[in-house]
Amino acid sequence: MSFKPLFIKSLMADQARLHFAAHSHHLWPDASLAGQLTYWNDSAKLADRKWDKVMGDVWPTAQAHVGDELGGVPADRIVFAANTHDFIVRLAAAVPQRFSRQLHILTTDGEFHSLRRQLSRWLEEGSIRLEAVPVEPFDSFADRFLEAAQGDHDLIFTSHTLFGSGRIVPRIEEIVALSKPEGPWVVVDGYHSFMALETPFPKALSDRAFYLGGGYKYAMAGEGMGFMVCPPGFGERPPLTGWFAEFEDLTLPPGMIGYAEDAMRFMGATFDPSSLYRFNAVRAMLTGNRLDTAGISARIAALQAQMNDALAATVFADAELLNPLDGGPHARFLAYRHPDAARWCGELMAGNVITDVRGDVIRLGFGLYHDEEDVDLFAKAASILK
């Protein structure tokens, strides 16, 4: 069965394109356009009163979807922002600094670009002390990271699924167990796990640690929907704060800085809610087609196996598959390392076959809009690479 009919508008927009970058910019299903139009119509009809609908209906519906997908996380622990970088900055300002005027941060050398860049800049100006544990060799990573985490850190940050290699970090429960309201705080970046792995951050983990994710990739909702899971009792009065953090009570006396008791305490200011409309529409589409993460993952696992087999007759046979297929939970992309990865990516792009590359790693991302024929077409395109 093909699910291409759910993506007609995106697929028809460039019929010659073969898009295998669903781990980066996922193609949008038609339902997302319906959600976008609903937002526009609500704005036209309701004007200022639209915020009653956004915060009274759209926002809590999106919270519930995220909480269910993560594994029973209470909806009021979830807050949205334009992107996860916003939350990184708010967290860094809010975390208790226990040891010096420098914030002590532990992370890995495999984090996403915005975090890497921000930490490098803070390190350059001397406002943080940074320890980055190498993710390779991966077989010993968890042991090395947990050992390093015994130090005097204020903030511990790790991905769940590494964006460069697609490897899934083990022993997340042990890392989360280090998190305390007084510090250190543990933050798990789940952008490549949300709606790619089943129940990636269940309620028990949300009791102790922060979790970041968004709608840009596997949620198929596009930009503008970063979210954060906020454990209760952590950062009750964040210093970087917008007026939405007291949205539920706008009758406070002048000069009083109120905060919501739930995740809204980390809220910013006026935002574009269109991504939440798109996300809710996509979730309704999935429900209507009896699709969930488990089913989509099983479908994609079969396509990934087909792809890996088909590429054995191409130059990819000489590359290292960094995230092997072992029958267990897997990233939604295959990551092949080879010195010619950038050249392969460029030559494929010239033929309107879309992948992406990070250094010497070319990544092939899979989505619900792929089927067996697409894998065959990609293998054919790869067969002419030298």
Strand-strand pairing, 185-189 and 155-159: parallel
- At residue 83, the pLDDT reads 95
Count of residues making up the chain: 386
Could you tell me what percent of the chain has a pLDDT over 70? 98
- At residue 112, the pLDDT reads 85
- At residue 99, the pLDDT reads 87
Domain residue ranges in the chain: 4-31+292-382, 32-285
- At residue 247, the pLDDT reads 61
pLDDT band at 126 (very low <50, low <70, confident <90, very high): very high
Mean pLDDT within 172-190: 97
Strand-strand pairing, 333-337 and 353-354: unpaired
Task: State the pTM of this model.
Answer: 0.95
Q: How far is CA 148 from CA 88, 100, 123, 127, in A?
A: 21, 19, 19, 21
In the predicted model, is pLDDT for residue 282 greater than 80?
yes
Q: For the chain, what is the largest distance between any 2 Cα atoms, rounded to a whole number of angstroms?
A: 71
Mean pLDDT within 315-328: 96
pLDDT band at 180 (very low <50, low <70, confident <90, very high): very high
Q: Which CATH number fits domain 4-31+292-382: 3.40.50.10490, 3.40.50.1820, 3.40.50.970, 3.90.1150.10?
A: 3.90.1150.10
- At residue 245, the pLDDT reads 78
Q: How many helices (H) and strands (E) does the chain have?
A: 13, 13
What's the CATH architecture for 32-285? 3-Layer(aba) Sandwich (3.40)
Mean pLDDT within 341-349: 98
Residues 10-64: pLDDT tens digits?
999 999 999 999 999 999 999 999 999 999 999 999 999 999 999 999 999 999 9
Give the pair of three-digit tokens for residue 44. 């036209």
Mean pLDDT within 91-108: 94
In the predicted model, is pLDDT for residue 116 greater than 70?
yes
Average pLDDT of the chain to the nearest whole number: 95
Distance separating alpha carbons of residues 43 and 263, to the nearest angstrom: 26
